[in-house]
Amino acid sequence: MAVHPVEYRYSSEEMRMVFEEEAKLQTLLDVEAALARAHAKLGNIPKEAADEISKKANTGLVKVERVKEIDNEIHHDLMAMVKALTEQCGEAGKYVHYGATSFDIQDTALALQLRKAIAIIEQDMKGLKKTLYDLTEENKKVVCIGRTHGQHAVPTTYGLKFANWLCEIQRDTDRLEQAKERMLVGKMTGSVGTQATFGERARELQKTVMDDLGIKPVMVSTQVVQRDRHAEMIMVLALTGTSLEKIAKELRNLQRTEIGEVLEKFGDKQVGSSTMPHKRNPWKSENICSLARVLKSHVMVALDNNPLEHERDLTNSANERIIFPESFMILDFMLRRISKILGSIELHPENIKRNLELTRGLVMSEKFMIEMVKKGIGRQNAHEIMRKSAMESYHTNTPLREILISNQMIKDKFTREEIDHHLDPEHYIGTAIEQVDEVLGMMKDD
């Protein structure tokens, strides 16, 4: 029976299977088998022994229950796995774990696990980028009000808003690829990194093992692969989480009753509140913001794991059993959820238009100031005229257009048609559409 909410509520079965107990054990056994094969290839042990170890290194024979039983006696889970495998291998068992220390197996197996987990995240991100691409393309000309400091600023477009999100997710993808290159390494370097137990051909042995497993060997290590690699990976996952949090937070704000420009899909039988029947809460987006906080909390733990003492201590071990499965399961869940939200959001054109007009033209004061400069009015003078006009509009609740029309200096410089044109939000989106087209062109084949 599941106890942790991440396991039963905030994860996919696909990602759970990567970190499931039996899957982890199989990965450890895979490394032991690869080590035996490498020893045989170099002539250190009989090929028949390596074949037997490889044959028996599976969870159909080496049971999780047996490993736990031994662990309860000796209090060393990796050595418990070694003993359980040795029991299955008969005479070949004397070559199991030959020359290795626990973290030769553990760290290499972790890299193999994370390779699978990263592949799932990469697929999630690919799907999210496709969803954002479509939203960007569909809404590139939808003009809306831009907001800074929580206040109406100047017009922008939903296409540009979505394009910003798309580009950020692409940067997250790039960062993951870079971190993956440093994270997916294995080691056969022994107790303090000298490879003394592996003999004169130790470097060749290490490369042979890693070639077999399809990952790169470390150049140097202590008893462990250095934890800056692991910290970087956790930071990249958390940073990606904040990108999703940013999207979810914006969606939440745009769903406020008084804004109402966007709505999450709401099922026919869905309940928003146990007491307020009318509520249509953005709870899925709130989920994402909530889980992002957990991801960010793992960063400090990962950073604290980097300065291990001397050639290693065990202070990273217990928490890494938590932060890696949790981080990957949570981010996978968040990516899938935000993709579903974005794939079914509803934009409300009437509310978008209402909000554009809410300030009665004040959001066009910048545009009009620029046009005044073009007509020969000094920039600072134009700014002051527009500032006073805007404040008058604000305090008297009078449309900016009426105030400008009544200003003699403005009437001397502008026709009414020009004033109307310059106060139209549709005519003040700058290069937004061109920027969106550039993004779409760049992302088309991704």
- Digit-coded pLDDT (tens) for 349-393: 999 999 999 999 999 899 999 999 998 889 999 999 999 999 999
Which of 77, 98, 119 finishes a domain?
Answer: 98
Assess whether 254 and 345 both reside in one domain: yes
Which of 49, 65, 98 finishes a domain?
Answer: 98
* Active-site residue identified among 273, 297, 344, 406: 273
| Long-range residue pairs from 86-94, CB within 8 A, at least 24 positions apart, any chain | 88/56, 88/61, 88/62, 89/49, 89/52, 89/53, 89/56, 90/52, 91/49, 91/52, 92/46, 92/48, 92/49, 92/50, 92/52, 92/53, 92/56, 93/53
* CATH code of 164's domain: 1.20.200.10
Assess whether 120 and 232 both reside in one domain: yes
CB atoms within 10 A of CB 308: 17
Q: Are 111 and 31 in contact (CB under 8 A)?
A: no
For the ranges 39-43, 203-207, 377-381, 432-436, the lowest mean pLDDT is seen at: 377-381
Assess whether 64 and 85 both reside in one domain: yes
Please give the Cα distance from 412 to 5 (Å, whole number): 69
Which pLDDT score is estimated for 276? Answer: 53
Assess whether 43 and 105 both reside in one domain: no
Please give the Cα distance from 8 to 421 (Å, whole number): 57
Assess whether 178 and 315 both reside in one domain: yes
Pick the closest to residue 232 from 322, 163, 305, 293 (CA basis).
305
Assess whether 177 and 245 both reside in one domain: yes
Please give the Cα distance from 11 to 328 (Å, whole number): 9
Assess whether 342 and 405 both reside in one domain: no
Please give the Cα distance from 113 to 25 (Å, whole number): 11
3-state DSSP call for residue 244?
helix
Q: Which residues contact 391 (CB under 8 A, 6 or more apart)?
A: none
Number of domains in the chain: 3
Assess whether 438 and 302 both reside in one domain: yes
Residue 42 lies in a domain: yes
Assess whether 355 and 370 both reside in one domain: no
Q: Are 233 and 172 in contact (CB under 8 A)?
A: no
Q: Are 404 and 412 in contact (CB under 8 A)?
A: no
* Active-site residue identified among 75, 149, 278, 310: 149
Assess whether 313 and 251 both reside in one domain: yes
Mean pLDDT along residues 328-346: 96
Q: Which residues contact 164 (CB under 8 A, 6 or more apart)?
A: none
Task: State the pTM of this model.
Answer: 0.93
75 catalytic per annotation: no
* CATH code of 16's domain: 1.10.275.10
Residue 28 lies in a domain: yes
339 catalytic per annotation: no
pLDDT band at 171 (very low <50, low <70, confident <90, very high): very high
Residue 65 belongs to what domain range? 1-98
* CATH code of 383's domain: 1.10.40.30
Residue 31 lies in a domain: yes
Residue 249 lies in a domain: yes
Residue 428 lies in a domain: no
Please give the Cα distance from 437 to 325 (Å, whole number): 39
Q: Are 30 and 22 in contact (CB under 8 A)?
A: no
Residue 352 lies in a domain: yes
State which H helix or E strand residue 73 sits in.
Answer: helix 64-74
Which of 98, 121, 151 finishes a domain?
Answer: 98
Residue 269 lies in a domain: no
Assess whether 203 and 138 both reside in one domain: yes
Question: 143 pLDDT exceeds 50?
Answer: yes
Which pLDDT score is estimated for 2? Answer: 79
Strands (E) in 121-181, as ranges, are: 143-148, 151-157
Residue 215 lies in a domain: yes
Please give the Cα distance from 382 to 362 (Å, whole number): 15
Assess whether 333 and 186 both reside in one domain: yes
Mean pLDDT along residues 241-264: 95
